[in-house]
A and B are shown apart, each in its own frame.
Chain A
Amino acid sequence: MRKGLIALWNIILKDMRAYYLKPPNISWGLIFPIAWTGMFFIKSGTGFETIPTLLPGVIAISVLFGTTSMLAVTVTFEKKNHSFERLLLAPITLNTLMLAKTSGAIFFGSINAIVPVILAMLLTDISTISWLIVLPAIFLIAVASTFLGLFIAVSVSEVFEAQTFSNFFRFPMIFLCGLFFPIDALPVFLRPLSYMLPLTYGVDILRGAVTGTNTMHLGLDFFAIIFFCTALFYISLRNINRKWIN
């Protein structure tokens, strides 16, 4: 148990040092939310007081983009140069190993969300936001996006595929999760798709916490996103067991 924890912690530390805290990554994590905030802001053409309404979307997108491809690319990279095999040789369970690999990305993704929050804080009054709901929501969005990255990592074998595949999931997600258009405004045949995306529920929680207007019940939102996280993790774990130890 103690040995497992030492391994877990050191895998997280190593990933942080080797990938997540590298300068290009940090600057990307900063520029990205700023760019999105700016874009939304200019598009809405209103004053600073509308920033809180933009915040849920920017937070969700920052987290999504900070995690998914990050994990997919680093894991694929380590698979490619065989260093991942060293991890598979370690006497720790696959659960522990994948928990370690995803924790770094989850942490990094959650930190990414802080950037738009700080920006918003500087520009306007956001004291009405219920942080007790926002923080777990950010965490859950980070978990769901990371596990999506894990799912992608198991499905591809080349680094560029990991990149492409991540975008293949992410861009439709942005449009379908209710960020740009309310889900009710989507064509009927697309709506079921929206409800199959974890991000939809995450965005709904955030919007509720910031503007007080949930479209679904808060409990349902949390239940759905936790359900997606668990399902993605176990599907990935099963696939890893089947495909990586073959």
Chain B
Amino acid sequence: MKHQIQISNNDEPLIEVVNLTKRFDNLTAVDNISFTLNNGEIFGFLGPNGAGKTTTIRMLIGLSRPDSGTIKVAGKDCTGNPKAAQHLIGVVPDESNLYPELTGFDNLCFCGALYGMSKTERIERANKLLKTFGLTEAANRKFGGYSKGMKRKLTIAAGIIHRPQILFLDEPTTGIDVASARQVRQLISSLNNSGTTIFLTTHYIEDAERLCHRISFIVKGKIAKTDSVKNLLQPLLGRYVMLVSASGNIMDISRQLSSSFSDYTFNITSPEHMRVEANHQINLVHIVKFLQEHGIDVTEAKKSIPSMEDVFVSITGIEANILKKEADKKRKSE
């Protein structure tokens, strides 16, 4: 699904965010973040619930005002004027904001009209999009009666009806089934292939890895790291990882562990779980023995193939399955 980033002749980033901050009362939802979005790329915000992903998007699309920092879209300063670049962007929010009482077709035509498209142009485009998204048969049914996957697809269609240069997608694959999620991913890729620059947020590490050219890890309103998928995975080449579960508190002996095995890295994720990393094969026997000497029994140990998940854990310090569990929970509750 991955493809070459289109090199634009214009080196200036399409979006430039500098020191952006947003507070709600005492809570700093977005905390002094900076990043750029290059022409032609798919850029992803990956982070757990409440990380500030939606809040960031809302500021970029002009639905929310930052407390400080600047936003530039296509060279226009949008910080004080949220309307300045709205004609260039399309938005697919996490919760659909189409009209339940209108049909799928009418919803699309209405959205086209909001961007000033002529009647013939929007009818033609709506029909084409309905076809591309496999919704032609549901075109004349009310949007309120659509299934979750259909709703998401129509919301994406509505976001691109005016052929925006930049498309924002807030959690495009959350809350829909596996098949629909795959379809949505394919749509995103092919949109990008035809030249649309994409900013998306997600809980799913796999989605970020599969779709994005570059990723920002965002946790508690802060960007922990931004880099290309390739660069993020680079340090993992030749890394060995082992996940160890034990009965007893490993945290108590973390210092002794580190000093006794200086060529291993120990990442203790909970009192009974840790990740061991090294640049060579890990000798489990030594570790088991060491723990036993400190009255801790190893209950499980397994080898792990280093992945984006490990990068996320090592950079953010939070356990990757927090992300996944949250995502699953959301999926189930919906």
Contacts and interface: CB of A to CB of B under 8 A. Distances in A.
A223 to B, nearest CB: 33
A7 interface: yes
B61 interface: yes
A23 interface: no
Interface stretch (A88-96, A106-114, A115-123, A143-151): A88-96
Contact of A246 (B64, B116, B118): B64
Interface string B81-123: 0110011010101011111111000000011011111100000
Contacts of B114: 7, 10-11, 86-87, 89-90, 92
Nearest to B119: A6
B97 A86 contact: yes
Interface residues of A, number: 26
B163 interface: no
B62 interface: yes
A85 B113 contact: no
Contacts of A10: 110, 113-114
A18 B99 contact: yes
Main SS of the interface on chain B? loop
B63 interface: yes
A93 B87 CA distance: 11
A3 interface: yes
B65 interface: yes
B118 A85 contact: no
Contacts, number: 69
A81 interface: yes
Nearest to A86: B97
Contacts of A85: 63, 93, 97
A93 B100 CA distance: 25
Given A6-B113, A82-B97, A14 B102 contact: yes
A67 to B, nearest CB: 21
A2 interface: yes
Contacts of A44: none
Contacts of B83: 91, 93-94
A6 B118 contact: yes
Contact of A82 (B62, B64, B95, B115): B95
Contacts of A87: 114
B63 A3 contact: no
Given A18-B99, A18-B101, A91-B87, A86 B111 contact: yes
Contacts of B91: 89
Contacts of B62: 88-89, 245
A9 B62 CA distance: 23
A92 to B, nearest CB: 7
A164 interface: no
Interface string A158-195: 00000000000000000000000000000000000000
Contacts of A11: 114
A83 interface: yes
A245 B110 contact: no
Contacts of A9: 113
Contact of B115 (A3, A84, A93): A3
A4 interface: yes
Contacts of A81: 97, 100
A6 B82 CA distance: 21
B109 to A, nearest CB: 8
A246 B97 contact: no
A90 B112 CA distance: 10
Interface of B: 61-65, 82-83, 86-87, 89, 91, 93, 95-102, 110-111, 113-118, 158
9 contacts: A6-B117, A10-B114, A83-B98, A89-B86, A89-B91, A91-B87, A245-B63, A245-B65, A246-B64
Interface of A: 2-4, 6-7, 9-11, 14, 18, 81-94, 245-246
Given A7-B114, A14-B99, A245-B82, 12 more contacts: A3-B115, A6-B113, A6-B118, A10-B110, A81-B100, A82-B96, A83-B98, A84-B97, A88-B62, A88-B63, A89-B62, A89-B63
